């Protein structure tokens, strides 16, 4: 408190005393603040300088690294992880070569997802295609059951076993027996599995399923140790193992441990979406290599597993300049005179009954007649129905079915899910190897998926076809009068878009066809009347008059009227020509008479002239004679 007392005393002094002291105090405070700021700013300045130097050094380092990375001579070689192919269609593509060699791969999924089939096909194709023997150890199904079940897929397991290409071993595990005999470990399994591997020189091993094997371990700690021990033992033996396991509640596996000790984890899913089953495969992890991370639909059919290796394909396909005929000559004319581009996608839209399937059948017939193959995917009509209906318009597809040039795959969209259809279609393309694929119609796919899903599936299918250089034609049913719209919005994916529309006039319905777009070519902008007859599809010019476009019977009547009017005009012209000829003859006769009269007058005139000249010559002679008689030559000469 005493320190505060002098302060009030300061203000009691006179003004000339207050001012110097206040000014001095302000100067002192200013320099004190400057000194403190300098004291604190100096380290900060040094820090900023160091940061700036580090940034400059880092920038130079990155530039140097960029130059080194861009130089091919100094590139660092990358050691690739060794893999072995499974032989399963599409799976080796999404994994970049198959499963890791000499390491365990875990296949997990729910009941009926295809785990056992994956393992068995891994062994069968390894023995058949890559000459690698394998051991299949089952803990649930007996040997006889396995042989019988997989014979329906064309897997002759007995033959492979007889040729020492495969060994089957069924291990029966009963929990009650384990509790009665005491503790359970894997020593006996290692001995048994090792003997099977050595007996045939196995390179591949399948354990199906691991849950049954570890059902005898009530202690979770022992369970974890034995799982690690099993995986380590398989690695030490150098075999490529596929181990199946059941999906847990909220986890990939029942114990929630196997996926962590596995080098590769494949998840198989069999889901139901709106009462339609769909199978999907996903690579959860794959140590040491890159892999596809999306869900891939797969199919189980009479040939085994087939995975669709595409979820989206980049726009890297080659564009061909080759042209192929549509099967309708005048349509080719509308498309620049040569038809579609090979490898392009074509969309034909229209309401019901406008002739979309007829155009597709003409394209199929033209393709097969040229010695190429055509795959026809029908979603509304059976094969025999398509053949019968197309005969009515003069297109006989049966010969192409008989010689194998045409393959019709007819199925209802509701038979599979959208992804399963995509897988089956790609498998058909892979097996049949067509140059043209026809889908009739794609609008039915909306019954098993929304518009966005259908568009996504078609985009993947179109991209896969373009990658292979396959020409695709799609028909699509549209509703109402909006002929330029499709329910799924797939028109942007198409290279050529044709629309067939109804034209109603004069109490009848006719068809008109026009080209909405055709990328990369000059095409007609005219509407052509689309006529279905016993000779096939014909495109005729529509009649455009004062009342607009006229088609059908009205067009025929108008054309007949035009022909009659044209005939009358021709006859009128011919009549005038005849009158002109007659008049010309008359005039020529008159001219001929006048010319004769002129000729006669000319002759008379010439005769008069000659007579006058003769008279003058005679007079001259007479004068000359008289002069001579009178001896008047000199006079005559002088006078002359």
Does the structure show a pLDDT above 80 at 137?
A: yes
CA distance linking residue 146 with residue 124, whole number of Å: 12
Task: Count Cα atoms within 13 angstroms, Cβ side, for 535.
Answer: 6
pLDDT tens-digit readout, 333-385: 889 888 999 999 999 988 888 889 999 999 999 999 999 999 999 998 999 99
Cα(172)–Cα(169) distance, integer angstroms = 10
| Residue 85: burial class (beta carbons within 10 Å; 0-12, 13-18, 19+) | middle
Structure tokens at 6: 């002098």
Place of tokens 């019709």: 408
**Which of 358, 318, 360 is CA-nearest to residue 342?**
318
Distances (CA, A) of 283 to 209, 315, 599: 19, 24, 116
Cα(373)–Cα(396) distance, rounded to whole angstroms? 16
pLDDT at residue 202 tops 80:
yes
pLDDT, position 275: 67
What pLDDT does 16 receive?
A: 43
Q: Are 260 and 294 in contact (CB under 8 A)?
A: no
What gap in Å lies between CA 326 and CA 332, rounded to an integer?
6
Query: What's the pLDDT at 578?
Result: 87
Residues 6+ apart with CB under 8 A from 247: 108, 109, 110, 113, 253, 254
Per-residue model confidence as pLDDT tens digits over 264-302:
999 998 877 666 677 888 898 898 887 777 788 888 877
CA angle 485, 487, 314 (to 5 degrees): 95
Integer distance in angstroms from the first to the last C-alpha of the chain?
A: 176
pTM for the full predicted model: 0.62
> What gap in Å lies between CA 151 and CA 579, rounded to an integer?
96
For the chain, which residues make up each domain, given as ranges?
83-307, 323-541
> Using an 8 Å Cβ cutoff, are 409 and 427 in contact?
no
Give the position of tokens 């199919």: 299
Two structure tokens written together for 561:
């009227």
Flag the least confident range among 221-225, 453-457, 564-568, 608-612: 221-225
Q: Where are the beta strands (DSSP E) in 337-495?
A: 340-341, 345-350, 374-378, 406-410, 436-440, 471-477
Tokens of residue 326, six digits? 């549509």
Q: Which residues contact 34 (CB under 8 A, 6 or more apart)?
A: none
Question: Which tokens in the block code for residue 427?
Answer: 């498998």
**Residue 139: predicted pLDDT:** 86
What is the C-alpha separation between 110 and 253, in angstroms, rounded?
9
- Residue 521 has, within 13 A of its CA and on its CB side, a CA count of 26
83-307 folds as Rossmann fold (3.40.50)
Same fold yes or no, 83-307 and 323-541: yes
Looking at domain 323-541, does it have CATH number 3.40.50.1820? no
Residue 532's nearest CA partner among 347, 389, 355 is 355
| H helix count then E strand count, the chain | 19, 24
Place of tokens 């098993």: 448
């Amino acid at each position: 408190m005493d320190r505060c007392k002098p302060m009030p005393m300061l203000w009691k002094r006179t003004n000339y005393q207050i001012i110097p002291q206040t000014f001095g105090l302000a100067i002192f405070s200013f320099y004190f603040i400057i000194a403190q700021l300098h004291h604190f700013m100096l380290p900060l300045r040094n820090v900023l300088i160091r940061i700036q130097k580090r940034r400059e050094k880092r920038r130079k380092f990155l530039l140097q690294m960029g130059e080194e990375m861009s130089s091919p001579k100094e590139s660092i070689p990358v050691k690739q992880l060794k893999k072995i192919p499974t032989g399963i269609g599409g799976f080796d593509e999404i994994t970049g070569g198959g499963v890791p060699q000499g390491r365990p791969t875990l296949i997990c999924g729910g009941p009926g997802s295809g785990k056992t089939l994956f393992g068995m096909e891994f062994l069968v194709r390894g023995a058949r295609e890559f000459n690698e023997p394998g051991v299949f150890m089952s803990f649930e199904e007996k040997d006889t059951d396995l042989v019988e079940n997989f014979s329906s897929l064309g897997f002759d397991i007995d033959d492979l076993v007889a040729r020492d290409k495969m060994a089957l071993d069924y291990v029966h595990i009963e929990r009650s027996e384990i509790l009665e005999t005491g503790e359970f470990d894997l020593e006996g399994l290692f001995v048994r599995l090792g003997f099977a591997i050595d007996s045939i020189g196995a390179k591949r091993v399948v354990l199906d399923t691991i849950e049954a094997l570890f059902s005898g371990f009530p202690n979770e700690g022992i369970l974890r140790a034995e799982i690690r021990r099993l995986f380590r033992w398989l690695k030490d033996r150098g075999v490529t193992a596929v181990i199946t396991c059941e999906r847990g509640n909220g986890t990939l596996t029942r114990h929630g441990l196997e996926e962590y000790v596995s080098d590769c984890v494949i998840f198989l899913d069999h889901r139901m979406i709106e009462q339609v089953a769909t199978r999907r495969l996903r690579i959860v992890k794959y140590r040491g290599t890159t892999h596809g991370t999306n869900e891939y639909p797969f199919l189980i059919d009479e040939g085994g597993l087939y995975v669709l290796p595409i979820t989206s394909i980049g726009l890297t396909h080659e564009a061909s300049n080759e042209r192929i005929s549509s099967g309708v000559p005048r349509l080719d004319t509308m498309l620049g005179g040569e038809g579609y581009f090979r490898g392009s996608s074509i969309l034909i839209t229209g309401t019901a009954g406008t002739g979309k399937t007829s155009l597709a059948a003409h394209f199929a017939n033209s393709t097969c007649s040229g010695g190429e193959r055509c795959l026809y995917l029908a979603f509304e009509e059976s094969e025999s129905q398509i053949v019968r209906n197309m005969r009515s318009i003069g297109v006989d597809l049966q010969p192409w079915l008989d010689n194998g040039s045409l393959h019709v795959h007819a199925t209802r969209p509701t038979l599979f899910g959208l992804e399963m259809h995509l897988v089956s279609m790609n498998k058909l393309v892979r097996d049949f190897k067509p140059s043209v694929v026809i889908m009739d119609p794609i609008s039915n796919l909306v019954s098993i998926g929304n518009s966005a899903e259908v568009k996504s599936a078609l985009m993947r299918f179109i991209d896969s076809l373009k990658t292979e250089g396959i020409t695709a034609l799609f028909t699509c049913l549209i509703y109402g009068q909006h002929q330029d719209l499709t329910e799924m919005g797939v028109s942007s994916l198409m290279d050529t878009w044709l629309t067939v529309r109804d034209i109603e006039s004069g109490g009848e319905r006719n068809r008109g066809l026009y080209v909405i777009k055709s990328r990369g070519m000059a095409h007609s902008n005219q509407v052509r009347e689309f006529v279905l007859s016993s000779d096939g599809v014909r495109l005729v010019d529509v009649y455009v008059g004062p009342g607009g476009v006229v088609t059908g019977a009205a067009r025929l009547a108008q054309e007949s009227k035009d022909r009659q009017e044209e005939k009358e005009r021709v006859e009128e012209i011919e009549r005038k020509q005849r009158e002109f000829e007659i008049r010309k003859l008359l005039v020529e006769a008159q001219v001929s008479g006048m010319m004769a009269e002129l000729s006669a007058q000319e002759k008379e005139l010439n005769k008069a002239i000659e007579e006058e000249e003769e008279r003058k010559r005679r007079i001259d002679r007479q004068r000359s004679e008289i002069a001579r008689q009178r001896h008047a030559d000199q006079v005559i000469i002088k006078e002359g």
